[in-house]
Amino acid sequence: MAIRIESNGLYLEGRQIPLYSGSVHYWRHAPEVWRTILERIKELGFELISVPIPWGLHESGPGIVDFGERNPQKGLPKFLDLCRDAGLLAVVRPGPVVDEDMPYGGFPLRVIRNPAVWALTSTGAPAVSSRFAPPVAIPSYASEKLFQEITKFLDQLMPLLTPRQYPDGPIVLCQVNRETAFMGRVQAYDLDYSPESIVLYRQFLSEKYGSIEVLNGVYGGRYTDVAEIVPPKSCEAVVQRDLPWYLDWVEYKEYLIRRFHTRLTRMFRERGVTVPLAIDGPGVFSTPIDTLELQKVIETPLCGMEIEPRPADYHGMALHIRYLTGTGRLPYASRFGSGQSWFTPHVLTPAEQEFCILSAVMHGMSAVDFHMLVEGDRWVGAPIQRSGAFREEYADVFRRLGVFFARHKIWDGKKNCRTLVLVSTGLERFHSAFSTLNHAYLGLLRIPRVFSDIPASLGFQTEPMRQSILEEGSWIREAFRYLENAQVEYNLAPSRLMLDELTKYDMVFVPTADFMDPQEQEKLLGFADRGGHLVFGPALPTLDERMNPASVFGGVMQTPGTQVRESGKVTFLPSFDQAADLITADMPNVVLLDNPNLRLTIRGGSTILVFLANPTNTVQRSLMISSWPLRGAWNAPVETQTGSVTAEVAPYTVQVWEVLK
């Protein structure tokens, strides 16, 4: 390919283009304003825009589409040609789901009303998403009718897009789908009980176990054929050996998502799409999204995540960016809000927008697509108004940030990070399988979550349900607090991360319970053998994920403490009350603070930058101790300072200091 994706952006025949873009809804603006809007986007420092293409916008009936022939406002080809003429590159997003505040998520109404495409709940009713206006039936990823309809649309759309791929046109990247996880319905027993999905579920079981005899051995069943197996509709496990049936149903949802997107990818390629592909994902850390496997099956290094920027949710936003940084070669926020929907209680101020963007950058974001650079119906607070004029107070933020990013070559730098926290695939699947929470009948009644959890422990010594990243007080969340209090920056990744990726870090934390995949344990011990420090807890695993006796960590140590292993070491840590000696003197940031309310990270590169964030609503002061000379680069004094630097940081503000070499 003439285009490739590297860790610092796109390369077009050797020329680097940072993946720094914003979306434009061409259909929401009069065609006579398009050229002005594109000029304004360039003036803000953007070289890339993203272009959602709503299926339901262009189709008015079966096989009847309009790409500007009748309504010029739907003139996608003309808009892309204007991008080329303006010197802008484009990321196209053909869906089939685009959302973008479109009715029915962008689907044609006739398609979404067809029962043959519906995902079904366990009662046989259509699963409905309330994330769209009006609420919409969720399409089944197993529906052949849905694929037939998608095929018809792509056959009409792709002849317009493929001739406009780089270098003949502006298209340099194509995003596959949106709302990757069943339009937000991610609970285990929410869906998909459609007949076609159940057929695929049985196919998944056949592929996983190979024979009915092996499956019977795991399930303790007497099935003669996989066709006899039905999916669980709620968790009714009584003993530990009951669990594989439920865990397999959770894993099947990951399989279903991978299969759907693999097939979509193939459809795009068969119709002439040659540019790199990307996937957009929701803000979830685990099942039903398997980030690592998704990247493998569609052969893309770019699996993004939707980030909702809110200053008050700084810690949640930082965690999502850390996950992107830990799982992808190019940490990509594929939808980062620029402005807000008109019905949002609070529209971000320019200062709050600045805080959120810089906070994401400081924690590792190296690629971003801003959702709506131009205001439209039901969307306000963007840097460009519908008329094509700047909304100056917001435009100024993007203008200054663009200059700042270019001056310091932000996208060439990487966050300094030597510590990784792993999200346990097994524990997150268990958490999903062991809950009866079902939005179809509980969410509408506003029943508290405590009534949807099963209280039985199934005889586990350490309750696996309480060790999920979703549970307050879990070991993994205590690890987050411990590292932040120690001023140690960390990344986040699935526990299935490859060993070669683990060895990029000095220290790895992983939560454990009574059961854990033995191969995962072997891999983690391999990390310690290569010189790393592995920390696990709160339990010593004694079972595998099929609930058979298996203990790899137990062969290394039986009691809490630290053991040296070849060139590294392993620590069994049941509680962080006992973690006083884990952090060595060389582990915290090179620049130290004396105020635990502030957060500090360092991005290295041609320029070393120190980011200092105040995620509180009060002024915070701190003494920064640095062996480097520092000079303010953003919101900080420009005078060179050395040794001890007194910093005063306003509420919800990020300061950036440049290291002088």
Q: What is the pLDDT of residues 47-80, one digit of tens each?
A: 999 999 999 999 988 889 999 999 999 999 999 9
Q: What is the pLDDT of residues 90-100, one digit of tens each?
A: 999 998 988 87
What was the pLDDT predicted at 450?
58
Q: What is the pLDDT of residues 114-172, one digit of tens each?
A: 999 999 999 999 999 877 667 789 999 999 999 999 999 999 999 999 999 999 999 99
What was the pLDDT predicted at 1?
59
Torsion, CA 383, CA 384, CA 385, CA 387, rounded to 10: 170
What was the pLDDT predicted at 437?
54
Q: How many CA atoms lie within 13 A of 486 on its CB side?
A: 21
Residues 6+ apart with CB under 8 A from 73: 26, 27, 29, 30, 31
| Cβ count near 282 (within 10 Å) | 17
- 568-572 and 533-538: which strand pairing? parallel
Among 487, 454, 470, 384, which Cα is nearest to 42's? 384
Among 252, 248, 242, 206, which Cα is nearest to 227's? 206
Average pLDDT across the chain, whole number: 92
Output phi, psi for 481, to 5 deg: -65, -40
Q: What is the pLDDT of residues 324-380, one digit of tens each?
A: 999 988 999 999 988 887 777 788 999 999 999 999 999 999 999 999 999 987 788
Q: Which residue has the tokens 């060595």?
A: 584
Angle at which helices 243-270 and 212-219 cross, to 10°: 140
Of the chain, the percentage scoring pLDDT greater than 90 comes to 77
pLDDT band for 102, please (50, 70, 90 cuts). confident
- Region 6-13 average pLDDT: 91
What was the pLDDT predicted at 456?
59
Q: What is the pLDDT of residues 417-458, one digit of tens each?
A: 999 999 999 999 999 998 765 444 444 555 565 555 555 578
Report whether 107 contacts 96 (CB < 8 A): yes
The amino acid at 596: P
Peptide bond into 134 cis (omega under 30): yes
Q: What is the pLDDT of residues 176-220, one digit of tens each?
A: 988 788 888 888 998 999 999 999 999 999 999 999 999 999 999
What was the pLDDT predicted at 441?
45
What residue ranges of the chain are covered by domains with CATH 2.60.40.1180? 599-659
Residues 6+ apart with CB under 8 A from 205: 215, 226, 229, 248, 252
DSSP state of 561: E
Among 356, 192, 168, which Cα is nearest to 274's? 168
- Region 465-479 average pLDDT: 95
How far is residue 495's CA from residue 184's CA, in Å, rounded to a whole number? 23
CATH fold of the domain at 17-115+136-187+252-412: TIM Barrel (3.20.20)
Higher pLDDT pick, 111 / 444: 111
Torsion, CA 233, CA 239, CA 241, CA 246, rounded to 10: 20
pLDDT(283) > 60: yes
Report whether 383 contacts 394 (CB < 8 A): yes
What was the pLDDT predicted at 99?
82
Tokens coding 522: 């072997």
Residue 144 CA to chain centroid, in angstroms? 28
Of the chain, the percentage scoring pLDDT greater than 70 comes to 96
What residue ranges of the chain are covered by domains with CATH 3.20.20.80? 17-115+136-187+252-412
Q: What is the pLDDT of residues 496-548, one digit of tens each?
A: 999 999 999 999 999 999 999 999 999 999 999 999 999 999 999 999 999 99
CATH fold of the domain at 599-659: Immunoglobulin-like (2.60.40)
3-state secondary structure of 417: coil
pLDDT band for 260, please (50, 70, 90 cuts). very high
Beta bridge partners of 610: 602, 657
3-state secondary structure of 51: strand
pLDDT(589) > 90: no
What was the pLDDT predicted at 104?
83
- Region 591-596 average pLDDT: 91
What was the pLDDT predicted at 489?
95
Rg (CA), the chain: 25
Q: Which stretches of 347-434 are DSSP H helices?
A: 350-362, 392-407, 425-433
Q: What is the pLDDT of residues 241-255, one digit of tens each?
A: 999 999 999 999 999
Report the range of poorest mean pLDDT among 235-239, 265-269, 314-318, 424-428: 235-239
